[in-house]
Structure 1
Amino acid sequence: MSQVNSVSQLSDVQPTDWAFQALQSLVERYGVIAGYNDGTFRGNRPMTRYEFAAGLNAALDKVNELINSEIGNRVTKEDLETISKLQTDFATELASVRSRIDNLEVRTATLEAQRITSSTTILGGEAIFALSTASGGDPPGKGDANVVLNQLVRLQTTSTFSGKDRLRLELNAGNFNGFGFGDPNVLNTNTALLSFQADTGNGIKLATLDYRFPAFNDKVVFTIRPVGFSLSSVLTANSPYFDAGRGAISRFGEASPVFKIGDLDAGVGFDWLLSPRARLQVAYGASNANNPDRGFVFGKGAHNVAAQLLLLPGNSVLTGLTFVYGYSPDGRLNTFTGSAIADASGFINQPSNIYALNGTLQWRLSPKLTFSTWGGVVGTYASQTNAFAVSTNYLFSLGFSDPFGREGDLFALMFGQPPKLIKVGDFSGSSGLGENATSYHFEAFYRFTVNDNISITPGIFMVTNPGNIADNNNIYVGTIRTTFRF
């Protein structure tokens, strides 16, 4: 099973984030940032939190100038509230940026005199404590689970050598027991998996190693990730809840299963800014990439190549269309999000080609209400026979920001269908696969923001007809997740 996504505190601020869209709105209304060399603010380009804070700091300076000038009444009350929230959310990074600016003249003179090329490294981390329980699911499993206390700790360093590139290393340790509630001795279904579970036996594991650098006048960003790769390492999943510590509590609910096809471990890709409102992303990844017998580039092991077009038709809408081609030695998808039958492509059990199409949409209906959805179809076709299997999945969600007047809180509701086989053919057993019903996923969570570094998220999800089998009992999984970021 692929690892949970990286520490968000040190990861890129995505164009889907509220902060990104808020800053972009300020830029377009007040011209508060000069932007790149071509005069544009690329509000659909991911950047680190410290890069974002640098832009935000420049925007704050410009807004202050406007307020103190004769045209200060142009700045609305709503924008002042937005600026206040941005200052709160990025207080740590702003303090660091301003400290560096205060000493810039002295440091610049020293560096110019010595001609030293230095690097900058930032250390951060995340600790997740979760008290969880589950019930139901007898069958497909043995029924109710005991209350468990699990943890996941992640430490990450982010370094830059030119100011534009990024080298990232992440170590993690977790104490989840195998598949947790999805274990055969408990609920026996992948639909019971939590988004933040990782089993390292509390041993320290290198989870991520990647390097990113821009080229072609900063219009293209290349990614090389020999450890911890998934398609979402390059392709923007375009989900507001793809965050193990602060997002969805279920593995299925965090992002489309299409981005998890292949259980990959190494890969490369690029993100090309076609225009201020369009991006083309291409990724290639493989499993067992370090094995000479399997190989990395279109070898004998599982491998995927994917392309995604992201469009920003308006300041409140972001949509994406994704195509994936893959190869699997046994036809398995290994997304670990739906029924075992769908994930194994009907147990086709032979070398197969995989084709997947996925669409995503995020729509900010109002400053505090976001609608999002995604849906995908996956076809697996045996390369040596006429056997095939087709599955589908989808999800709809509503997110309410700052409910009850509490800034930083989030209440989210989700409904969807985990991967389900809809058609199989031309292989033994295709008429008796057992999927005689449809599983539906219902999820709700409320994230309480204690302060900038601590959040507490109680949540629950239910899956009907686990495994898409009518005789299986519904499953219920609940958790109280506490996340510390530093």
Structure 2
Amino acid sequence: MTRYEFATKLNVCILKINNSNFDKFNQETLTTIQKLQTEFSAELATFRNHVDLLENKVAALETKQFSPQVELAGEVIFAVTGVTGGKKANSRTKPINENLVFSDRLRLSLEASFTGKDKLQIRLQGRNTPELADVTGTKMANLGFDGDDDNEVEVDELDYRFRLGKQTRVTLYALGGGLGDFVPSVNPLFSGSGDGSISTFGRENPIRRQGGGAGIGISHNFNDSLNLSLGYVSNNAANPEKGIFASPYGAIAQLTLKPSKTTALSVTYIHSYNNVNTGTGSELTNNPFNNQADAITANSFGAEGAWQINPTITLGSRVGFIHATAEDVPATPNAVISTWALLLTLRDIGKEGSFAGFVVGQPPKVTHNSFGDAFEEKDTSLHLEAFYHFKITDNLAITPGLFLITNPEHNNNNDKIYIGTVRTTFTF
């Protein structure tokens, strides 16, 4: 060993002797230790100086405020998608184009922290994945990661998150916020656009899709099992002619309960203005009053649950109701829009970290409308979906998936629509 390594061990020995009873050691041992201490005095002094310097640096780091820094995170999606099903929804003459398409989506996030307990995020996005509603005639066919901006990169999300105490978190969105971003999901494996359900309908309860833009949210944990989250978003907050409260908006309140490690429940209330278009249901659910209303208020109620039967199998379910009222139409007609879904997850299938997901549900449907019987939907569409998220590495995953829409637009005269995609996701 080197002289410095010996001096290090000698220093430990000296410290133990100083902390012990000297009667345990004979004079010869103490004399030897004293000679070694004299001979290695230079090395011991250097060692102690290094220790003192290190202790001073540690103390400075402990008292110094967290230094702000910026980190880059990214996600790239490549997808090959195909659609088939005969004629477009509500058309007996226009066929569905059955060509395969190759599309992409790029997201780059700049993330900074100023205190170590907060996060500022600026997200850039470019994409060219088409909305399949244009091809199929119904929004029920839309993918969960779609959006076509001709791959022009732009800032699509700007948010800041910080804590008010250990149990409370505040989220501010200047751009790109949605009601679902303010509340936790009890079925999180389905909610991600890059790694969750391949369809828009499968990702989350459609009632949460009423509104987006700038907003604020607060989330408080009463304990490890109970959370209350509140949020508000405004579509045109920067428009001086409309402002924060006059433009289309949405407000959400959700109570999430986890009574055990294997079960989770949530109940949700949403109030919205001119935002009943969830982008997942029939055209009538997006416009239940035949373009006659310019002031539609809606009160929505939802519930969601998850039960982990064992480490592999998890069952989930959700239900949602939207009660919309046309405030500026004579007799103030109202409409009831309903939706539900059953979810199944099989974890660690094929490889640890991979999972299979299944969705069976009803896209939003107008079940009652005092505006007139002609504006109620008598038939029922079903959404049937299966996908497999295969995790190749920590930074690469491939998700093949297929979903079927029966009776598109809640009309049994329409042909079934099949949508298949292979989504490849790179993260860094």
TM-score (norm 1): 0.73
Q: 1:346 to 1:164 in 2, by over 3 A?
A: same
Q: 1:434 to 1:422 in 2, by over 3 A?
A: closer
Between the two proteins, what is the percent identity of the paired residues? 32
Per the alignment, residue 321 of structure 2 pairs with 377
Per the alignment, residue 236 of structure 2 pairs with 288
After TM superposition, the runs of 4+ consecutive aligned structure 1 residues lying more than 3 A away are 104-113
Shift of 1:108: 3.5
User: CA–CA distance in 1 between the matches of 2:127 and 2:421?
Assistant: 16
Indicate which of 334, 339, 351 corresponds to 1:388: 334
User: CA–CA distance in 2 between the matches of 1:351 and 1:116?
Assistant: 50
Per the alignment, residue 249 of structure 2 pairs with 303
Partner deviation per Cα, 1:84-122 (whole Å, 9 max, x = no partner) = xxxxxxxxxxxxxxxxxxxx9786355469x56511322
Per residue, is there more strand in 1 or in 2?
Answer: 2
* Structure-to-structure mapping, 1:387-466, within 5 angstroms: 387-404=333-350, 406-425=351-370, 427=371, 430-433=372-375, 435-466=377-408
Indicate which of 324, 329, 337 corresponds to 2:270: 324
Q: 1:110 to 1:251 in 2, by over 3 A?
A: same
Indicate which of 228, 231, 235 corresponds to 2:179: 231
Per the alignment, residue 14 of structure 2 pairs with none
- Whether 2:428 is the aligned partner of 1:483: answer no
Per the alignment, residue 335 of structure 1 pairs with 278
Shift of 1:349: 2.7
User: CA–CA distance in 1 between the matches of 2:194 and 2:231?
Assistant: 25
User: CA–CA distance in 1 between the matches of 2:255 and 2:322?
Assistant: 18
Contact 1:136 1:144 in 2 (8 A): no
- Whether 2:61 is the aligned partner of 1:108: answer no
Partner deviation per Cα, 1:118-169 (whole Å, 9 max, x = no partner) = 1132211110000000011513253233100000010112211111111111
SS of the equivalent of 2:284 reads helix
Per the alignment, residue 133 of structure 2 pairs with 182
Shift of 1:390: 0.7
User: CA–CA distance in 1 between the matches of 2:99 and 2:334?
Assistant: 39
User: CA–CA distance in 1 between the matches of 2:55 and 2:116?
Assistant: 17
Contact 1:278 1:311 in 2 (8 A): yes
Per the alignment, residue 169 of structure 1 pairs with 122
Indicate which of 206, 214, 232 corresponds to 2:155: 206
Contact 1:320 1:359 in 2 (8 A): yes
Shift of 1:449: 1.3
- Whether 2:196 is the aligned partner of 1:247: answer yes
Q: 1:341 to 1:164 in 2, by over 3 A?
A: same
Contact 1:137 1:472 in 2 (8 A): no
Indicate which of 149, 166, 174 corresponds to 2:102: 149
Q: 1:400 to 1:106 in 2, by over 3 A?
A: farther
Per the alignment, residue 345 of structure 1 pairs with 288
- Whether 2:138 is the aligned partner of 1:195: answer no
Q: 1:435 to 1:137 in 2, by over 3 A?
A: farther
Indicate which of 267, 274, 277 corresponds to 2:222: 274
Per the alignment, residue 122 of structure 1 pairs with 71
Shift of 1:433: 3.0
Per the alignment, residue 467 of structure 1 pairs with 409
SS of the equivalent of 2:191 reads coil
Per the alignment, residue 135 of structure 1 pairs with 84
User: CA–CA distance in 2 between the matches of 1:203 and 1:137?
Assistant: 33
Q: 1:369 to 1:293 in 2, by over 3 A?
A: same
Per the alignment, residue 35 of structure 1 pairs with none
User: CA–CA distance in 1 between the matches of 2:413 and 2:280?
Assistant: 20
Partner deviation per Cα, 1:193-247 (whole Å, 9 max, x = no partner) = 00011212110111111111111x3221111101001001211233331011111
Gaps of 5+ in 2: 1-53
Contact 1:139 1:471 in 2 (8 A): no
One-letter identity of the residue aligned with 2:365: K
Aligned length: 367
TM-score (norm 2): 0.82
SS of the equivalent of 2:147 reads coil
One-letter identity of the residue aligned with 1:438: T
User: CA–CA distance in 2 between the matches of 1:370 and 1:349?
Assistant: 42
Shift of 1:321: 0.3
User: CA–CA distance in 1 between the matches of 2:280 and 2:56?
Assistant: 54
Contact 1:465 1:471 in 2 (8 A): yes
Q: 1:237 to 1:137 in 2, by over 3 A?
A: farther
Shift of 1:444: 0.3
Contact 1:434 1:469 in 2 (8 A): no
Contact 2:230 2:253 in 1 (8 A): yes
Contact 1:156 1:168 in 2 (8 A): yes
Shift of 1:343: 1.9
